[in-house]
Amino acid sequence: MEIIGVRFKDVGKVYYFSPNGKKINQGANVIVETARGVEMGDVVISNKEVSESDIVHPLKSIIRVADENDLITAEKNHEREKDIMEVFTKKIGEHNLSMKPIGIDCTFDGGKILFYFTAESRVDFRELVKDLAGIYRTRIELRQIGVRDEAKMLGGLGICGREFCCSRFLGEFQPVSIKMAKEQSLSLNPAKISGTCGRLMCCLKYEQNSYEDLLKITPKAGAYVETAEGRGVVEEANILTGMLKVKLEKNQDVPSIIVNKNDVKLLKDAQIKVNREEMVAFKELE
């Protein structure tokens, strides 16, 4: 089936639509109907054939390719969002609500305005919604988002000195776990493995597949191995270099030896596990 891929945010999820028989180039703007209403999006995938299994049915068709008037309307909506944000912030203060305003989305046709906010707990914003609906005379939706989404929307610089991955190119968040940090031999220090959002850094996911492959062929700390000097227990393992620090069983008084993983025979491997204390201590980071 022929599709085009449309994105509604600079860095957001790509949705499939039918090109409705038209040839539409990457970079074009199209008007489409979504669950939120009529929207304008950027074409990031030009006409392409995909299998039925990759499509969420029913596949909607584009309404039209955006023209000059549509682009002007979108720009006006963008400017309007800035004004609405100021009102949103003001009204939160007037209603004395424990909310932090994050962003505004106006649908292309003006049929709905979405207000994004963060809060530490549930907030009764019913009176705020009535107030906003009375001002803008359209459908109002307040949406509480998490700290990862907040970072994605607001942007910023990570500890690496570069723009947040989530703001720059990550269309969707990938699950990241403490087990990944342990398997990559990282220090379980929240300041070193968490991003500005306070959650585990998304980049832990990037090299995880490589670490998993290396772990299959590298004895882990606690493994029993046979070396040229006798049997011993692996005290430390450098996954990237393949060098092992082994404590020999025959003479506990001598210092541990450093050997290459290729020069030992694995007798019994160990497992990398997250213990209960670590799970409790780092639960909020995941």
Crossing angle for the helix pair 126-136 and 68-94, to the nearest 10 degrees: 140
> What pLDDT does 80 receive?
94
Are 58 and 25 spatial neighbours (Cβ–Cβ below 8 Å)? no
> What pLDDT does 252 receive?
77
Are 75-145 and 221-268 equal in CATH topology? no
- What residue segments make up the domains of the chain, in order of their start? 2-66, 75-145, 221-268
Burial class of residue 284, CB neighbours in 10 A (0-12, 13-18, 19+): exposed
For 69-94, letters b (16+ CB in 10 Å) and e give: ebeebbeebeeebeebbebbeebbee
Neighbours of 135 (CB within 10 A): 14
Angstrom distance (rounded) from CA 206 to CA 210 = 9
Give every CB contact of residue 104 below 8 A, 6+ residues apart in sequence.
81, 82, 84, 85, 88, 113, 114, 115, 116
Question: Dihedral of CA 45/46/51/53: which sign?
Answer: positive
> What pLDDT does 53 receive?
81
pLDDT tens by residue, the chain, 286 residues = 899 999 998 888 899 999 988 999 999 999 999 988 899 999 999 998 888 888 888 889 999 999 999 999 999 999 999 999 999 999 999 999 999 999 999 999 888 999 999 998 889 999 999 999 999 999 999 999 999 999 999 999 998 899 999 999 888 888 999 999 999 988 888 989 999 999 999 999 999 999 999 999 999 999 999 999 999 999 999 999 999 999 999 877 789 999 999 999 999 999 988 888 888 778 888 8
Amino acid identity, position 17? F
**In terms of DSSP H, where are the helices of the chain?**
68-94, 126-136, 147-154, 165-168, 178-183, 190-193, 208-217, 276-281
Are 62 and 22 spatial neighbours (Cβ–Cβ below 8 Å)? yes
Are 199 and 286 spatial neighbours (Cβ–Cβ below 8 Å)? yes
Q: How many residues does the structure list for the chain?
A: 286
Please report, for residues 168, 195, 260, the alpha-carbon distance to residue 162 in angstroms, rounded to integers and kept in the order given: 10, 12, 36
Report the SS3 class of residue 28: coil
> What pLDDT does 52 receive?
83
> What pLDDT does 281 receive?
77
- What is the CATH number assigned to the segment(s) 221-268? 2.30.30.30
Angstrom distance (rounded) from CA 265 to CA 73 = 69
pTM to 2 decimal places: 0.79
> What pLDDT does 222 receive?
94
Fold of 75-145: GMP Synthetase; Chain A, domain 3 (3.30.300)
Are 12 and 171 spatial neighbours (Cβ–Cβ below 8 Å)? yes
Give every CB contact of residue 19 below 8 A, 6+ residues apart in sequence.
2, 3, 4, 47, 61, 62
